[in-house]
Structure 1
Amino acid sequence: MCLTLIVEDNATFRRSLRELLFTRFPYMSIEEAVDGNEALHKVNAFTPDIVFMDIKLPGTNGLQLTKNIKQHYSDMIVVILTSHDLPEYREAAFRSGANYFMTKGMATSSDITALVASILSGKTADHGNGSGMMH
């Protein structure tokens, strides 16, 4: 079983991502958090394999949260999912320790499920496909 945490303050996007993941990966256990405090609590409580992280969150931003998570759980996979497709956000995401960066408006359902399938199979995702995904 794969444990996954979705850290996203937008309820509609969070619900859509949860439904997408559960439909494609029915064996996946999915938790949700709406802010940094709840996310840290859930990371410590159930140590997810994959964390989908928004950058703009109430309280602690997703980049600082990613940095904190990676300091304690270096093997945890963090996928930044954001509406802001700017080079400085990508660079900051990777400096914070994120493994992947995807842009909400550009990444399709297929891109997201392909990335998760790739992570679960232990392969590296292709980052040159123009989908807003980088490794």
Structure 2
Amino acid sequence: MPTVLIVEDDIVFRKQLLEVFDHGNGFDAFAEAGNGVEALDKTKCLSPNLAILDLSLPDVGGIQLAQELMEITPGLRVFMLTADYSMKTEKNALSCGITAVFSKLDDLATVVANARAVCGIE
């Protein structure tokens, strides 16, 4: 089963993401991080299949972090979440290899459904 790393500095939103992914959605293991340094450490240990990243973290930009994580774990799928969604942000993220970009205002069930699809969970 796929493993997921959730990187979000807002602890309340991070817990919401963990909760929605943990409800029988076909994912095996979860790790969470509140910043880029923690995310890099957890990626080295866990080798996740999917990382869900906040675009704006306290210590690093989400796109830069995504590129570093994808370098550590080839084949890693990355979803970017942002409170300031724009087509420009999405285009920039996708051009850097990020799999999908979502607004934090999107229904989290949509994020989970897309995660299941990219991880091959039926």
CA deviation after TM superposition for structure 1 residue 69, in Å: 1.7
Bigger relative contact order, structure 1 or 2 (CA pairs below 8 A, ≥6 apart): 2
CA deviation after TM superposition for structure 1 residue 66, in Å: 0.7
Q: Please name the residue that 1:35 is paired with.
A: 35
TM-score for both structures, normalised by structure 1: 0.82
Say how many residue pairs are matched.
122
List alignment gaps of at least 5 residues for structure 2: none
CA deviation after TM superposition for structure 1 residue 122, in Å: 6.9
- Write out aligned runs for 1:1-135 (5 A): 1-25=1-25, 27-105=27-105, 107-121=106-120
Work out whether residues 50 and 77 of structure 1, in 8 Å CA contact, stay in contact via their aligned partners in 2: yes
CA deviation after TM superposition for structure 1 residue 61, in Å: 1.2
Aligned CA distance change for structure 1 residues 70 and 27 (closer, same or farther; 3 Å): closer
Q: Kindly report the root-mean-square deviation, in angstroms, between the aligned alpha carbons of the 2 structures.
A: 1.7
Work out whether residues 4 and 50 of structure 1, in 8 Å CA contact, stay in contact via their aligned partners in 2: yes
Q: Describe the SS at the equivalent of 2:64.
A: helix
Q: Describe the SS at the equivalent of 1:74.
A: coil
Q: Describe the SS at the equivalent of 1:24.
A: coil
TM-score for both structures, normalised by structure 2: 0.90
List alignment gaps of at least 5 residues for structure 1: 124-135
CA deviation after TM superposition for structure 1 residue 31, in Å: 0.5
Aligned CA distance change for structure 1 residues 122 and 22 (closer, same or farther; 3 Å): closer
Letter aligned with residue 67 of structure 1? Q
Q: Percent identity?
A: 25
Q: Describe the SS at the equivalent of 1:97.
A: coil
Query: Where in structure 1 do 4 or more consecutive aligned residues deviate above 4 Å?
Result: none
